[in-house]
Amino acid sequence: MKIQRKLTPEEFEAIKPRLKRMSQRNVDAAYQVLVNDKTQSEIARELGVTQQSIGDAVNAVWKHFQKHYEQESGLAIPSDWIKVSALLPPEMAKVVTQMEKSARDKLRKDQR
């Protein structure tokens, strides 16, 4: 199963200062993939570039997001962790939020 990387517009905005060395075209392409759910091949066709170049841009932005998260939270994100975004009823959202907090607490304990 292929894991889809996803960021909210706010998360992308928070890491923009880290992306100054990237071309605006690559930043925009990564935004389309990570925030707007477009495929890498779709963006590559639109821009007339290879899918690999779009994948490289997405990977670069994702690495900046991971570093940002690690600095903000003080935790190194394990490579097998998946960022999840979902719309849920309040009672389910509370359960998921608690699960995430428990996982972070365990990770924090393990990384000490």
64 and 29 in one domain? yes
Q: Is pLDDT above 80 for 42?
A: yes
Model pLDDT, residue 2: 59
41 and 55 in one domain? yes
Look at the chain and report how many structural domains it folds into: 2
Helical spans, DSSP H, in the chain = 9-15, 24-34, 40-47, 51-73, 90-110
Model pLDDT, residue 59: 95
48 and 89 in one domain? no
108 and 95 in one domain? yes
Amino acid letter, 112: R
Question: DSSP code of 22?
Answer: S
66 and 40 in one domain? yes
95 and 49 in one domain? no
- For the entire predicted model, the pTM comes to 0.73
Could you tell me which of 21, 104, 101 has the C-alpha nearest to residue 64? 21
Model pLDDT, residue 110: 86
103 and 68 in one domain? no
pLDDT band for position 49 (cuts 50, 70, 90): very high
Q: CA neighbours within 13 Å on the CB side: how many for 36?
A: 12
Phi then psi for residue 90, to 5 deg, are: -50, -40
pLDDT in tens, 75-112: 888 878 887 878 899 999 899 989 988 998 888 888 87
Which residue range is the domain that position 103 belongs to? 78-112
37 and 68 in one domain? yes
CATH number at residue 22: 1.10.10.2690
